[in-house]
Amino acid sequence: MTIDVEKTPTRGPNPVLAATIAAVAMVAQHVIGKATRDALFLSHFPASRLPLVLIVGSVVSAVVVYGTTRLVGRFGPARVAPFAFAAHGLLALVEWALSSRFEAPVALVFYVQTVAIGPPLVSAFWSVVSEGFDPHTAKKVIGRIGAGAALGGIVGGAIALGASKVTTVPTMLGVVARLSGVCAWATSALARGTSSATSPSPGAPSPSGLTALRRTPYLRLLALMVLLGASTQGLLD
């Protein structure tokens, strides 16, 4: 269900503000995550290993896309996106805790994690935005949300640059975890503010991931965009 935030009283969180905060935190953690990923990996492995780990990340990404598609088909993006951001943050937090003793394995796991999970997280966020606002309202607020994303890129770059001079690389995993937590909270607030979360009736059977892909053009397009995005990111890296 979409909502016109200008005509409907907002009893919950301000959805535009929540979406903007989520965009800032999402892009900031993405920029910091990529910088941390590269620094960690290249400090333990030669650059010649990058093609192999990118292939592994792409395979894992395909599995993540399938699972995400199935979950979105059953619960809707407004319920899946906050959970996905929280899971990403929890993984980064665990990796941060383990990095003092197992830095090389953590570097490998975190590299695959960012390659595999990054694009689906971005797609999940914009899915919540597109479902939460009606087209008329979206035209008015998408600029603000996009500005938040641009600001997130600047903030993420500044944090990565400053942190490289005052702290260790593994410590940045904690920053990624915290920003992912902000994303989870803000995306959940966005979903509550727009009442965009929809789910099937309790008695209705849930389609499998492949069935949802066949029946829903939107999900097919989303899966294709995520796969193309992951592949393009891998080639650029």
Quick one: tokens of 199? 């789910």
For residue 129, the model assigns a pLDDT of 85
- The pLDDT value given to residue 124: 86
146 backbone dihedrals φ, ψ, rounded to 5°: -65, -35
pLDDT of 214 reads 53
In the block, tokens 């397009």 appear at: 221
CB burial readout 172-182, b (16+ within 10 A) else e: bbbbbbebbbb
Residues 8-67 have pLDDT tens digits of: 444 556 888 999 999 999 999 999 999 999 999 999 999 889 899 989 988 998 888 888
Which of 133, 126, 135, 157 has its CA nearest to residue 29?
A: 157
Q: Read off the tokens for 43.
A: 């400090």
Tokens of 93: 């937090």
The CATH fold of domain 15-198+207-236: Growth Hormone; Chain: A; (1.20.1250)
What global pTM score does this model have? 0.76
> Would you state the structure tokens that stand for residue 175, as one six-digit string?
């920053």
CB atoms within 10 A of CB 49: 14
Q: pLDDT (tens digit, 0 to 9) for every residue of the chain, 237 residues total?
A: 455 554 444 455 688 899 999 999 999 999 999 999 999 999 999 988 989 998 998 899 888 888 888 888 888 888 999 999 999 999 999 999 999 899 999 999 999 999 998 888 888 888 888 888 877 777 788 888 889 999 999 999 999 998 888 888 889 999 999 999 999 999 999 888 776 434 444 444 544 444 544 555 555 555 555 555 555 555 555
